[in-house]
Amino acid sequence: LPLGSWLQSRPILFLTRDGTLLVHGGIPMHLAKRFLSRGQEDVEAVNFEWMQQAKGEHLNSFMGETELGQAIYTMLTYRGNHQGDNPQSSCKLLQKTLSSMKGIKRLGVGHTPDDSVRIECNGIFAALDSSLGRWIRATGNQYCRGDTTYASSNGRFVCHKIDSYCQGQIVRIAHNDGTIHIIDAESELQQDRESPLVDEL
């Protein structure tokens, strides 16, 4: 399937067993109260409606002209759950937002890359985008070849060579208690290199 079709088949929200809500961008308070107050039940309802609309011919009008479509767009692009300039105030607001959604204890988001995973607000907020993609880590949103380093004629713009392995971090959330384990991609790669492959019977 083309990448776009595959993305359209993915859910907007995912709620883990421990109560971590995963979403690409974030959840502002008014959307938490309006669309997610019932927790898992509402997560399933939002995902169901998305799946119905994503396969249809009217996806653009759904996203731009309906209340739920606009809410989903916000969930994909919102960055307001991050701490910003006033961490204490941001964390208090996040706690209130989580409390307005049944059974949801922590929020995990992507969309805002950095060099590492960030766990903030005493563990109730996880910024998971650690620039694992080799191209974005090296050159951001620039479209560079990747096989060599080269610069513009005045030297102000430089495209760096892309590493042959992923950097950044990945996260595993324990099923039993929700503990977050952060794993460096490079150390995981090294472990894979050192561990012999074992065929399953």
What is the spatial distance between Cα 21 and Cα 12, in angstroms, rounded to a whole number?
11
Query: Could you give the count of Cα atoms lying within 13 Å of 158 in the half-sphere of its Cβ?
Result: 7
pTM metric for this prediction:
0.83
What is the signed CA dihedral for 120, 126, 127, 128, rounded to 10 degrees? Answer: 140
Hey, CA dihedral for 108, 78, 1, 41, is it positive or negative? positive
**Which of 109, 126, 96, 127 lies closest to 33, judged by CA?**
96
Burial class (CB in 10 A: 0-12, 13-18, 19+), 155: exposed
pLDDT in tens, the chain (201 residues): 577 788 888 999 999 999 999 999 999 999 999 999 999 999 999 999 999 998 778 889 999 999 999 999 999 999 999 988 788 999 999 999 999 999 999 999 999 988 899 999 999 999 999 888 787 887 777 778 888 888 888 988 888 888 877 788 989 999 888 899 999 876 655 554 444 444 333
Looking up tokens 């399933």 gives: 44
Check residue 34 and give its pLDDT: 98
